[in-house]
């Protein structure tokens, strides 16, 4: 897989960021989210990730990007089709 077919996931404060190509999509997350640790599964808009929350053990978390994209008036199918993998990145 190349960088052109990988998306990036990160968080800062109470926002998470999903980046792909020229798109940088931010959505609210709990304030006690410290960081995403790794992506367990990517399935056309559905993410299973391991996350670290302040005061809690590491937790498996689920993110469904389809309703987020629809709320932003982005057609999910053509947007998600070229994404082959998602990586956690805190650059």
**Alpha-carbon gap, residue 33 to 9, rounded angstroms:** 13
Q: Is this structure's pTM higher than 0.85?
A: yes
Mean pLDDT (whole number) for 69-79:
96
| Residue 4's pLDDT band (cuts 50, 70, 90) | confident
Residues 57/62/63/64 CA torsion (nearest 10 deg) = -170
Output the pLDDT for position 1. 54
Say if residue 2's pLDDT is above 60. no
Say if residue 13's pLDDT is above 80. yes
- CB of 17 closer than 8 Å to CB of 25: yes
Residue 61 — φ and ψ, nearest 5°? Answer: -125, 150
Question: What residue ranges do the domains of the chain occupy?
Answer: 7-88
pLDDT tens-digit readout, 20-72:
999 999 999 999 999 999 999 999 999 999 999 999 999 999 999 999 999 99
- CB of 42 closer than 8 Å to CB of 81: no
The residues, ordered by sequence, that sit 6+ positions from 70 with a Cβ below 8 Å of its Cβ are: 76
């Amino acid at each position: 897989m190349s960088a052109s077919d990988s998306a990036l996931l990160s968080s800062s404060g109470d926002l998470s960021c999903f980046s792909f190509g020229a798109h940088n999509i931010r959505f609210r997350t709990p304030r006690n989210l410290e960081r995403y640790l790794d992506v367990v599964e990517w399935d056309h808009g559905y993410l299973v990730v391991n996350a670290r929350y302040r005061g809690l053990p590491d937790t498996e978390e689920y993110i469904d990007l389809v309703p987020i994209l629809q709320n932003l008036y982005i057609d999910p199918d053509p947007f998600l089709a070229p994404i082959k993998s998602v990586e956690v990145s805190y650059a």
